[in-house]
Amino acid sequence: MSDELESDGPGNFVADKVREDLAQGKFGGRLRTRFPPEPNGYLHIGHAKAIVLNFGLAELDPAGRCNLRFDDTNPSAEEAEFAEAIERDLRWLGYEWGEHLYFASDYFEQLYDWAEDLIRRGLAYVDSQSGEQIREGRGDFHRPGVNSPFRERAPEESLGLLRRMRAGEFPEGAHVLRAKIDMQSKDLKKRDPIMYRILHTPHHRTGDAWHIYPIYDWAHGQSDAIEGITHSVCTLEFQNHRPLYEWYLEAIGIPEGERPQQVEFARLNVGFMITSKRKLAQLVEEKHVAGWDDPRMPTLAGMRRRGYTPESIRAFCERIGVAKRDGLVDVTLLEHALREHLNATSPRAMAVLDPIEVVIDNMPEDFEHVFSLPLDPTDETRGTREVPLTQRLYVERGDFMEDPPKKWWRLAPGREVRLRGACLVTVKRVEHGDDGEVTRLVCEWDPDSLGGSAPDGRKVRGTVHWVSAKHAVDAEVRLYDRLFSAEDPGAGDTDFLTQLNPDSLKVVSAKLEPWLGTREVEERVQFERVGYFCVDPESEPGALVFNRTIALRDSWAKLAKKKG
Ligand code: ATP
Ligand code: MG
């Protein structure tokens, strides 16, 4: 995968940097990265970018590796369910970390020891001001901070307080531990940042062992150092944390050449998708979607259920390169990668989503002929499926027009068309219901065209897909579309919930050819002429549910062209 990282797209400056460091023998030639999710939600397409990047970087050196580290320092929002889902989704995406699974919570004791050490060396103190006073005292960009009245507290006193904080003797908010750096620093992050706060919330791994929890900045770099990470790759919003990251590493005594190097890149944003965990959680909690794995969600679990292949997501992440500035990536790039891979890998079969009945009048009622049609017309080695032709069939309502224009090549009165792979038929009579809706097409076929072409070589331009009524398998088909109708949901002052696409899910009852009725959960297929579909996990024997992954062509592009 390492070669793919440099192949297409706007380049990968992080990979360039890692190569340079390796060439110069930095970190003793060692290469170690990590993917550090916080287990407070499911992985989404933005995480995929960070995953492909970090695991890809590790492959730049044969001895390189990428750790999975749960950044579980905040017990309030974190749950074991999320940690399990993250591991599952990472494996699905195609990554493996072997024994290198770590938890920031495993380092709580070490972090605490370092904190006591900092206190002893006059580099940290317990502050007993209120949160409000601390915020106020920190100042802002224009206003220098002022020292806390507790700043010169004796180390012994701070140590005593910290131990009692740890033991749970104080209410939340009573004290915090702060690094003693510089309240006048131009770098606001360095104005005596908080290292620990009191939280009486039990932790999903450490239970109620702790009553203080480390702040991200105090935990992240130290976790990197413990694991011997060389390149700590993170997103741009952490750029202004870097000086503090480095200050802490120096303070705990990591020698200069061994300090992990923080490298920032731009978050991935994809059009029509949101990658804010808070907003994704809101969609789930307020039931705008059926769950984290709703096939419309930009989560890996949702995309998996939708029918995305891991290969297509990885290819997309590699092709777009690594950006230094935030931007919005066109969703059609992702969809293109998806169609490309599905086109190359999905077997074809026929399904009718909006059925209208066809009777072939001049065919004996008990006629039955079974064709053996290829699962992939471009690759015969992939085998065939059996498709029965009978007198009564279903075709797609949209493939018939009662009063068509001249250049309509599909079904219409008096026009001959091909039933894909089967025979030639002509509509002779159209039956309507009381409401005027077409209920049935009475056709005639040319019995000599069995197999699909006319013996006299006459030209028939149109081909439609069909399913034998007698052998059809019923299925629920969920036609998913983009979850949002705005490309940048929530941009400006707009409430992103007002931009939900009302047509993001339409459910239809479809008729499938028999082979499709035997597909299993997560199998992906192409419904010929319609799109790519996959079997939903809610399927049961005899009650199949298919999800539309994506239509064959981009209907949104067509709409945009019409408008433009
Ligand atoms: P939050 O702050 O809401 O928890 P987060 O982005 O920090 O969100 P994490 O679970 O902590 O979520 O992210 C794990 C890793 O994935 C981090 O290194 C983060 O930088 C990276 N990441 C998250 N979102 C994106 C994104 N949209 N594009 C690229 N990388 C991302
Ligand atoms: Mg985070």
Alpha-carbon distance 517 to 546, whole Å?
Answer: 10
CA distances from 533 to 116, 145, 147, 480 (A): 58, 59, 63, 10
Can you give the residue range of the structural domain that contains 447?
Answer: 348-471
Closest residue by CA, ligand 1 atom 2? 277
Alpha-carbon distance 159 to 51, whole Å?
Answer: 40
Q: Are residues 149 and 266 in the same domain?
A: yes
Phi, psi at residue 311, to the nearest 5°? -60, -40
Question: If you write DSSP's letter for every residue of 412-425 in order, what string do you get?
Answer: -BT-EEEETTTEEE
Q: Which of 38, 78, 416, 528 is catalytic?
A: 38
487 CB contacts (<8 Å, ≥6 apart)? 271, 272, 328, 331
Alpha-carbon distance 247 to 280, whole Å?
Answer: 34
Determine which helix (DSSP H) or strand (DSSP E) holds 13, and give its type and residue range: helix 13-23
Last residue of a domain, one of 427, 456, 471: 471
Give me ligand 2 centre to Cα 485, in Å.
28
CA distances from 482 to 272, 503, 550, 555 (A): 7, 8, 10, 11
Alpha-carbon distance 425 to 27, whole Å?
Answer: 73
Closest residue by CA, ligand 1 atom 18? 234
Tell me whether residue 124 is in a domain: yes
| Closest ligand 1 atom number to CA of residue 268 | 28
Last residue of a domain, one of 471, 497, 531: 471
Kindly report the CATH number assigned to the domain that includes residue 371: 2.40.240.10
45 CB contacts (<8 Å, ≥6 apart)? 268, 270, 273, 275, 298, 299, 300, 303, 313, 334
Q: Are residues 202 and 214 in the same domain?
A: yes
Q: Are residues 439 and 490 in the same domain?
A: no
Tell me whether residue 334 is in a domain: no
Return the DSSP state at 159.
H
pLDDT tens-place values along the chain, 564 residues long:
444 444 445 689 999 999 999 999 999 999 999 999 999 999 999 999 999 999 999 999 999 999 999 999 999 877 889 999 999 999 999 999 999 999 999 999 999 999 999 999 999 999 999 999 999 999 999 999 999 999 999 999 999 999 999 999 999 999 999 999 999 999 999 999 999 999 999 999 999 999 999 999 999 999 999 999 999 999 999 999 999 999 999 999 999 989 999 999 999 999 999 999 999 999 999 999 999 999 999 999 999 999 999 999 999 999 999 999 999 999 999 999 999 999 999 999 999 999 999 999 999 999 999 999 999 988 889 999 999 999 999 999 999 999 999 999 999 999 999 999 999 999 999 999 999 999 999 999 999 999 988 889 899 999 999 999 999 999 999 999 999 999 999 999 999 999 999 999 999 999 999 999 999 999 999 999 999 999 999 999 889 999 999 999 876 666 665 554
Alpha-carbon distance 465 to 347, whole Å?
Answer: 15
Q: Which of 49, 277, 314, 420 is catalytic?
A: 277
Alpha-carbon distance 468 to 515, whole Å?
Answer: 12
Q: What's the pLDDT at 562?
A: 57
Amino acid, single-letter form, for residue 329: V
Strand-pair category, 65-70 with 32-35: parallel
Contact 68, 90 (CB under 8 A): yes
Alpha-carbon distance 316 to 45, whole Å?
Answer: 10
Three-class secondary structure of residue 484 per DSSP = strand
Contact 317, 48 (CB under 8 A): yes
Percentages helix, strand, coil for the chain (3-state, rounded to 5) are 35, 25, 40
Q: What's the pLDDT at 560?
A: 63
Alpha-carbon distance 260 to 21, whole Å?
Answer: 12
Q: What's the pLDDT at 5?
A: 42
Q: Are residues 480 and 420 in the same domain?
A: no
Q: Are residues 143 and 158 in the same domain?
A: yes
- Helix (DSSP H) and strand (DSSP E) numbers for the chain: 14, 25
Q: What's the pLDDT at 10?
A: 64
Q: Which residues of 306-315 are buried (b: 16+ CB within 10 A; e: fewer)?
A: bbbbbbbbbb
Q: Are residues 168 and 221 in the same domain?
A: yes
Active site residue 38: yes
Six-digit token string for 462: 């149109």
Q: Tell me the Cα Rg of the chain.
A: 31
Tell me whether residue 358 is in a domain: yes
Q: Are residues 150 and 197 in the same domain?
A: yes
What is the crossing angle of helices 310-319 and 80-93, to 10°? 80
Ligand 1: residue of 33, 35, 38, 71 to mutate (most ligand atoms within 8 A of CB) is 38
Long-range contacts of 54-59 (CB under 8 A, 24+ apart): 54/233, 55/1, 55/95, 56/1, 56/2, 56/4, 56/5, 56/15, 56/318, 57/5, 57/14, 57/15, 57/18, 57/31, 57/33, 57/231, 57/233, 58/31, 58/32, 58/33, 59/1, 59/2, 59/5
Tell me whether residue 354 is in a domain: yes
Amino acid, single-letter form, for residue 533: F
Please tell me the number of the ligand nearest to residue 70's CA: 1
Give me ligand 1 centre to Cα 524, in Å.
30
Last residue of a domain, one of 214, 246, 270: 270
CA distances from 213 to 194, 210, 357, 391 (A): 11, 7, 66, 72
Q: Are residues 168 and 186 in the same domain?
A: yes
Tell me whether residue 343 is in a domain: no
Alpha-carbon distance 81 to 71, whole Å?
Answer: 15
Give me ligand 1 centre to Cα 239, in Å.
14
Tell me whether residue 105 is in a domain: yes
178 lines ligand 1 (CB under 6 A): no
Six-digit token string for 514: 């028999």
Q: What's the pLDDT at 8?
A: 45
Q: Are residues 60 and 208 in the same domain?
A: yes
Return the DSSP state at 503.
T
Kindly report the CATH number assigned to the domain that includes residue 226: 3.40.50.620
275 lines ligand 1 (CB under 6 A): yes
Among residues 227, 244, 245, the alpha carbon closest in space to that of 110 is found at 227
Tell me whether residue 297 is in a domain: yes
Alpha-carbon distance 272 to 329, whole Å?
Answer: 10
The total domain count for the chain is 3
Q: Are residues 136 and 189 in the same domain?
A: yes
Alpha-carbon distance 104 to 548, whole Å?
Answer: 39
Active site residue 540: no
| Closest ligand 1 atom number to CA of residue 51 | 16
Q: Are residues 256 and 123 in the same domain?
A: yes
Tell me whether residue 385 is in a domain: yes
Place of tokens 């066109």: 330
Among residues 225, 241, 188, the alpha carbon closest in space to that of 114 is found at 225
Q: Which of 267, 319, 410, 415 is catalytic?
A: 267
Q: Are residues 359 and 500 in the same domain?
A: no
Six-digit token string for 295: 């096939």
- Report the predicted TM-score, pTM, of the whole model to 2 decimal places: 0.94
Six-digit token string for 333: 């790039």
Neighbours of 208 (CB within 10 A): 11
